[in-house]
Amino acid sequence: MRIGIPRERKPMEGRVALVPEACGDLVRDGHEVLVESGAGEASGYPDAAYEAAGARLVPDAAALYGAAELVVKVKEPVEEDLHHLRRGHLLFCFLHLAAMPELAERLRAIGLTALGFETVAVDGRLPLLAPMSQVAGRIAVQVGSTLLHLPQGGRGLLLGGLPGTERGHVVVLGAGTVGGAAAAMAAAMGALVTVFDRKPERLEAMRALGPNVTALYPYRDAVAAAVREADLLVGAVLVPARRTPHLVSEAMVRTMRPGSVIADVSVDQGGCVETTRPTDWERPTYVEHGVVHFAVTNMPGAVPRSATQALSAALLPWVRRLARPDWRDDPALAGAVNVAGGKIVHPALREELAAAPAAAGSA
């Protein structure tokens, strides 16, 4: 199969789907691997490294998409990618279509087959989402800590405090992979951490992070009280293939102290805070009701070297499976198909998109 690795075109997205060594493995499997020139530069992988691994360099997107049968990229296609995608393509990347109905419609109309990294599920786990979730959880706390500095519009607070000073309070909504990584990072910095989740086993895991971590069931009043006292609020809620519910209302945001920070990692699926709207690394923040909002849709793109290495290692086995003629016999891959044959085929996504106009009309 001809496998294409394009250069990412989303603003400040430095990741590439596969490192040269992974491309070399695919070449040894008998596949032809095409890499767009410059695709790996921001991650520290020059064109020469891909050529040395046996991949063939192509000069631009037109050549890449024109020759490839399977397109493997990191983030959802932007306008330039959509211009080159065609019927018959297999597209494999992060899609998050529940929050982007217009993109879902464009992909449906093209007639290609699109599989989302985030909808590959094995025994309840999301093996392709997990490594990027770990990165995003850490970044949310690292960036959130910086945004609390006065020059960034924050309260002028060190999360971990100093002897004789108050410590910052970090509230994390969700104790999955993102939330767990965020809570661990915040706890290691010395902050007071409150984590909310519905699953007892996750709450128990959070308690093990240390005495400065409190793990609670997300009763609405408990969430509202914690949000009110939060210096940094991290949104880490995921409902696969569906828009994230708003666990924090605009009224709750109004109760937060001026200069506090919201880092909503769940923005990819619409965000779990009502005042969240997508941003990018060129303009990563905005202020609403005196609260700094950080809602970049590709947080791991800021650390492309680390993120690419983690993603490529997780991704290679799945690309190998997808490149086989019988890939539809793999239940995890078959279940990851979002769009095929001019239809939205993922059941949860189809239901979510069908409800989207009604939800928008009631807002």
Q: Which residues are part of the catalytic machinery?
A: 96, 268
d(CA 38, CA 22): 17
Residue among 308, 312, 310, 276 nearest 295 (CA):
276
Q: Which two tokens stand for residue 332?
A: 């995890």
d(CA 261, CA 156): 11
Q: Which residues lie closer than 8 Å to 361 by C-beta, 6 or more apart?
A: none
> Residue 65, Cα to own-chain centre: how many angstroms?
24
Q: Which residues lie closer than 8 Å to 186 by C-beta, 6 or more apart?
A: 141, 159, 170, 172, 193, 232, 234
Residue among 316, 283, 279 nearest 295 (CA):
279
d(CA 99, CA 273): 14
Please answer whether residues 275 and 293 qualify as being in contact, where contact means their C-beta atoms are separated by less than 8 angstroms: yes
Residue 170 Cα distances to 156, 203, 322, angstroms: 15, 16, 41
Which residue has 């960034």 as its token pair? 152
**How many other CB atoms are there within 10 angstroms of residue 69's CB atom?**
15
